[in-house]
Amino acid sequence: MYWHLHKDGRRIYEKYKKLGGRMPVSVAIGCDPATVVGKPPNVLNRYIDRKIDAKNPRTSGRHLPKGIVKGYEVIVLSTVSFALLTVAAYMLNPLCLELLPLAIALFIVYSFTKRFTWLCHIILGITCGGAPVGAWIAVTGKIGWPSIVLGAVVMLWVSGFDIIYGSQDYEFDKREGLFSIPVRFGVKNALIISKVFHIIAILLLLYLHLILHRGILYLIGVTIVAGLLYVEHSIVSPKNLSNVKIASYNINEIVSVILFIFAAGDIFLMR
C-alpha cells in the first residue's frame, strides 16, 4: 500500500510541478505519507515500550526487544520524520504549522498513557482522529465542522478496535500494573464498550451523510463498513480471544479503504 501511495504521489507531483511556488514541494513531501506521518508515532511507541514488550511473550519477538533494531536508529528515524512533518506543515499553511506541536505532543504522550490511565485507548483514538481534521485544514486552511465529526468517527473507530486488541493482554497488563479498559472494567465490559463506540461511529457517519448531502454510494459504503464492524465483534468474546488479531487488525485494514472508495465515488460519480 505504501508503494502505491508513493507512485500516486509522484504522478500528482508531475502533474502539478508547473504550478510554481510552494505547492509542488508540499506534494513531493506528501508522496511519502507513511514516512512523514506514520513512522514517528509507530516507531516511538515501540521504542518507549521496548522494555514492556520484552516481558510480554506476545511481543518479545519484536525488533527492538530482540536487538534487531537499535535504539539510536529509532531516535534518528523519528527525528528525521518529525522534521519532514514540520516542513510539510510549513509548506501547507500557517494553521497547519501552528497546530503541529499539538499533533506531535499527542504522538509522544500516547505511548506513555497505559502507564497511568485506562483512557489510553481513547487518547490513541484522539491522536488518530486528528488526521481528517488535519487533512481538512491542509486543503482549506481552516477547521470545518464536517472534519470534526469525521475526526470523532475515527476516534471512536480506533479506540474501539484498540480496546479489542488490548483484551488479549489482560492478564499481562494486570500483572505488570498497566492500565487499560479491559483491566479497569473486565474483558466482557470492555468488548461492550468497544461495540458501543463503533455503533456511535456508524451513527456519526450517517449524520455526515445528512449534513454533506451525500448520495446512495456513500450509504452503501457506510453499510459495508457497519457489516465489517459487526463481523469484527462477532468473532471475539471474553471466552474466545483467538481472533483478536483478525478483528482488530485485518478487518480494520480495509474499513477506511472501503469508506474512501464509496465516498469518493459518491462525490465524483454521482454529481
- Is there a domain that residue 213 lies in? no
Q: Please say whether the beta carbons of 145 and 211 come within 8 A.
A: yes
DSSP per-residue codes, 126-168: HHHHHHHHHHHHHHHSS--HHHHHHHHHHHHHHHHHHHHHHHT
Cβ-based neighbours of 147, under 8 Å, separated by 6 or more:
132, 133, 135, 136, 137
Average pLDDT over every residue of 26-30: 44
Number of domains in the chain: 1
Q: Is the pLDDT at 229 greater than 70, yes or no?
A: yes
Please give the C-alpha separations between residue 155 and each of 69, 122, 182, 197, 268, in angstroms, as whole numbers: 31, 7, 18, 9, 27
- Is there a domain that residue 190 lies in? no
- Is there a domain that residue 48 lies in? yes
Q: What's at 231, amino acid-wise?
A: V
- Please tell me the predicted confidence (pLDDT) of residue 77: 87
H helix runs in 93-119, sequence order: 94-113
Please give the C-alpha separations between residue 200 and each of 64, 134, 150, 193, 207, in angstroms, as whole numbers: 37, 22, 12, 11, 10
Average pLDDT over every residue of 33-38: 50
- Is there a domain that residue 237 lies in? no
Average pLDDT over every residue of 126-141: 94
Reference 165, options 202, 127, 121, 199; nearest CA is: 121
CATH code at position 78: 1.10.357.140
- Is there a domain that residue 191 lies in? no
* Residue 38: domain span: 1-113
- Please tell me the predicted confidence (pLDDT) of residue 204: 98
- Is there a domain that residue 65 lies in? yes
All three cell numbers of 156:
471512536
The percentage of residues in the chain with a pLDDT greater than 70, rounded to a whole number, is 85
- Please tell me the predicted confidence (pLDDT) of residue 7: 45
Average pLDDT over every residue of 130-134: 94
Kindly provide the b/e burial profile for residues 181-219, where b requires at least 16 CB atoms within 10 angstroms of the residue's own CB. bbbeeebeebbebbbebbbebbebbeebbeeeebbebbe
User: How far from the centroid of its chain's Cα atoms is residue 244's Cα?
Assistant: 18
Q: Please say whether the beta carbons of 180 and 123 come within 8 A.
A: no
Residue 240, φ and ψ in degrees, nearest 5: -140, 100
DSSP per-residue codes, 219-245: HHHHHHHHHHHHHHHHT-BTTB-TTHH
Quickly state the pLDDT bin for 13 (edges 50, 70, 90): very low
Mean pLDDT of all residues in the chain?
87
Average pLDDT over every residue of 156-175: 97
- Is there a domain that residue 224 lies in? no
- Is there a domain that residue 38 lies in? yes
Average pLDDT over every residue of 212-230: 97
- Please tell me the predicted confidence (pLDDT) of residue 36: 53
Average pLDDT over every residue of 142-154: 96
Average pLDDT over every residue of 161-184: 97
Predicted confidence (pLDDT) per residue in 42-95, tens digit: 888 899 999 999 999 999 999 999 999 899 998 998 888 889 889 989 999 999
Q: Is the pLDDT at 40 greater than 80, yes or no?
A: no
